[in-house]
Amino acid sequence: MLTAQPKPTCLRPPEILSGAGKHQKLAGKPATLSGFRPSARRSVIRAVISSGDSKAGVETAADKSVGTDKSLPSSSSSGSINVRAVVTVRKKMKEKLTEKIEDQWESFINGIGRGILIQLVSEDIDPVTKSGKTAESFVRGWLPKLSDNPYVVEYGADLTVPQDFGQPGAILVTNFHDKEFFLMEIVVHGFSKGPVFFRADTWIHSRKDNPESRIIFKNQTYLPSETPAGIKDLRREDLLSLRGNGKGERKLHERVYDYDVYNDLGNPDKGEDVARPVLGTEERPYPRRCRTGRPPTKTDPYTESRIEKPNPVYVPRDETFEEVKQSTFSAGRLKAVLHNLIPLMAAALSSSDIPFTNFSDIDKLYNDGVVLKEEEQTEDTKSRIFPEVLNRIFSVGDKLLKYELPAIVKRDRFAWLRDNEFARQNLAGVNPVNIELLKEFPIVSKLDPAIYGPPESAITKELVAKELNGITVEEAIEEKRLFLLDYHDMLLPFIEKMNALPDRKAYASRTIFYYSETGILRPIVIELSLPPTDSSPRNKFVYTHGHDATTNWIWKLAKAHVCSNDAGVHQLVNHWLKTHASMEPYIIATHRQLSSMHPIYKLLHPHMRYTMEINALARQSLINGGGIIEACFSPGKYAMEISSAAYKSMWRFDVEALPADLIRRGMAVEDPTVPGGVKLVIEDYPYAADGLLIWSAIKELVESYVEHYYSEPNSISSDVELQAWWSEIKNKGHHEKRNEPWWPHLSTQDDLSNILTTMIWTASGQHAAINFGQYPFGGYPPNRPTLMRKLIPQEGDPEYEKFLQNPEYTFLTSLPTQLQATKVMAVQDTLSTHSPDEEYINQLHDIQRLSYNDPEVHKLFERFAVKLEEIERIINQRNKNKNLKNRSGAGVPPYELLLPSSPHGVTGRGIPNSISI
């Protein structure tokens, strides 16, 4: 592992007095960075922006007269080389007038050469300083010429270096402006081997915020042991700066990656009802999040004080949304606000939330939008509640925003009612990762029988046998025809607390499916359980679909309770915990322990984009105490505790790999002759079949990549950065799991390939499969209710007679209210939306296109892109195959969630590189 070393002093460039055209002379010598000193030769540069150069916005170095400061000693008796750096900066797209004026001032300061200082550092050691040779210059340029992109500006800087300078390996950038700027890249022209590229894509902080210069390495990949001597110290120092010291509150301009527990979900200062326990303890284990260092709350020293919307939560500066993404997300949030506001107003004005009472109420959400009564649209109303937003709303008339018709009912509005569709969604829906093979009978709980009663399920062998078309239960198990959706043990410990919440009623559920000889999966038995009590010894209820009217309606209610459990587990466990939360420690460790020059950093970089920012936003308004998830899903205030319990009992890195997960659930068996190395038990399992194609393509790329960079024996075990990275993921990122025996070792090519493939799959294919179908499947409340408000009426209950008189009313009033449903629909719509700047897995990312000067590596990524194009064709062909009934047929939506490409918007397809929404 890397050991902490004393931090060298960073370059502190000369003081400059900001003011209207005024500047001081350079005062004194700059402090040194890791022993680096200002170059022995400094260019005397005049204006470098040429009015006639349309390509770079600067004249070429050969065309400029470059003087030499003769008072400085020459570092080479054989002469010098004049080189030019072209510095590309991106401006804001949307600017206020004051910001535009500031931009013009910054351009002026840059033009006179007092805004940005760059210091070129050689890969070669200076024999005198024992550090990399250096040359420095201020960036200059008068009224910079725009490139083809109106938001991109290019400046130039001329430098003189000795002929024995060698190849540049790093550039130190110091920003003398009062505010940060976004540096896209620096290209240095004039060296004998051609232009040298320094891809940055980073925010450069103002020297007023932090006097240390930023280190930008050239687009070259180096293992730690291969790092050129001249930039070895810089490599170490850059990593130290990213780790921070673990103290103090982080500032928004900083780039410090550190770990913390989930102690920021509650707000006990606001009251006990929004206080939440800390996640990330031995009792409640959880992956780590990014540390912000905010002070504790006044009432609980263990809870971190919260930053509420619209104020931003700290994430390292380069992890924040870019402007296009921010605009899209803001538009999505606005849409959610408008969707939420209308029923919220109606609820406030009528003093009660309104349930759906007939299916027409639901249809109106798509056909008419939500309409307020005439008497509610008064001037008094407008002035009392959110006046600015209301004025905008009322300006569009009575019919306000409408919801798009979700895919699940667009082709067949009654599909959700059918048993085969209920079953199909376990294989091709938004949560196809919980169904498992039923391997033995009876089904037995692992919970403590002293607390939760007899462990045996109430589903008997005789009851199952009635549904098996003449074969025995033993034969069905042997032939792998029985499958199980089991949320019993996960939920039963929380059911009593959940049911004590207002308008929440839930069971722990088990559902058995039968896979027929004709290839149709159908549910045959549902068990719904409550915790046993002395007053109610009967706590397990078993339902079958039946054939009479009463049994049919009760069966619909039982399925709705199963769907509600499925929606909660999907959101809290499979979606949030297993992708978003688990990925964050990988990202933190990658920045802390792998240099941006490291080949594994470059491989993972596209798969980390935006994840920390979207997670911070989720902690702020989705998974927090009183947030959307608690308000609209069955577990309520216990939602994140359930997520923690699931992490404790079932999360393990080695089975997050798709093939391993399928084998664990009994949905596949090992078979090295097929893609992914496993053969599916149900061939027509769209998520798994398409997922294995994506998994195999990722694995093939990763294996070739690892083999390319780690061909030498022991090269993996001797890579100090890589070993520190993996150690930190286990010991800090997943601290409560650090001693588990199932963590993979990291010593061979296979070890590293499997680890990286699992991470990339989690960030790309796995997240896409369980995220972008949220609105297409969940946007119709009866198909996937996120909570239930009533238990199923039993004979003898007062509600039973009402149920017999109007079963539709009982069913609909058991679902979420109109306010709850529209909130969820708005959030699902936002979470299912691809941003216009989305980067998809089948596109060659900038870091892959620009950061490798090795043609062999380029070929690997090109082959990967071609492979994904072929996979897209295969998936489209599968969706037209009439024999694959889970993805084709009358009214059946095709399975497109794992198609690699997508336009932006809510498309129900497309695999982004990263968890970006």
Catalytic residues: 575, 580, 767, 771, 917
Beta-bridge partner residues of 508? 529
Beta-bridge partner residues of 522? 514
Question: What angle (nearest 5°) sits at the alpha carbon of residue 493, between those of residues 487 and 496?
Answer: 105
> What percent of the residues of the chain are helix, what percent strand, and what percent coil, each to the nearest 5?
40, 15, 45
Beta-bridge partner residues of 595? none
- Which element (helix H / strand E) includes 875? helix 855-878
Q: How far apart are CA 597 and CA 220, in angstroms?
A: 6
Q: How far apart are CA 157 and CA 61, in angstroms?
A: 9
Which one-letter DSSP state was computed for residue 912? B
Q: How far apart are CA 168 and CA 120, in angstroms?
A: 6
Contact 280, 262 (CB under 8 A): yes
- Cα 853 vs. chain centroid, distance in angstroms? 29
**713 Cβ partners below 8 Å, 6+ apart?**
none
Strands 116-125 and 196-204: unpaired
Instruction: Compute how many other C-beta atoms are within 10 angstroms of the C-beta atom of residue 271.
Output: 12
**259 Cβ partners below 8 Å, 6+ apart?**
288, 289, 290, 291, 585, 588, 732, 733, 735
Question: What angle (nearest 5°) sits at the alpha carbon of residue 821, between those of residues 815 and 822?
Answer: 160
Q: In b/e form, how buried is each residue of 137-176, taking b as 16+ CB within 10 angstroms?
A: bbbbbbebbebeeeebbbbbbbbbbbebbbbbbbbbbbbb
* Prior bond of 310 cis (ω within 30°): yes
Closest Cα to residue 815, out of 635, 633, 637? 633
Q: How far apart are CA 209 and CA 851, in angstroms?
A: 29
R_g of the chain, CA atoms, integer Å: 31
List Cα–Cα distances, 868 to 656, 705, 853, in angstroms: 22, 17, 23
Strands (E), 338-438: 436-437
**716 Cβ partners below 8 Å, 6+ apart?**
710, 722, 746, 747, 748, 749, 751, 752
**895 Cβ partners below 8 Å, 6+ apart?**
428, 686, 687, 690, 875, 878, 879, 886, 887
- Structure-token match 């359930």, residue found: 642
Q: How far apart are CA 638 and CA 661, in angstroms?
A: 27
Q: How many CA atoms lie within 13 A of 36 on its CB side?
A: 34
Contact 145, 51 (CB under 8 A): yes
**Encoded tokens for 602:** 């470059």
Q: In b/e form, how buried is each residue of 541-574, taking b as 16+ CB within 10 angstroms?
A: bbbbbeeeeeeebbbbbbbbbbbbbbbbbbbbbb
Q: How far apart are CA 310 and CA 319, in angstroms?
A: 18
Instruction: Compute how many other C-beta atoms are within 10 angstroms of the C-beta atom of residue 59.
Output: 18
Tell me the residue type at 54: S
Q: How far apart are CA 819 and CA 266, in angstroms?
A: 23
Q: Is 526 helix (H, G, I), strand (E, B) or coil?
A: strand
Contact 835, 614 (CB under 8 A): no
Q: How far apart are CA 790 and CA 802, in angstroms?
A: 13
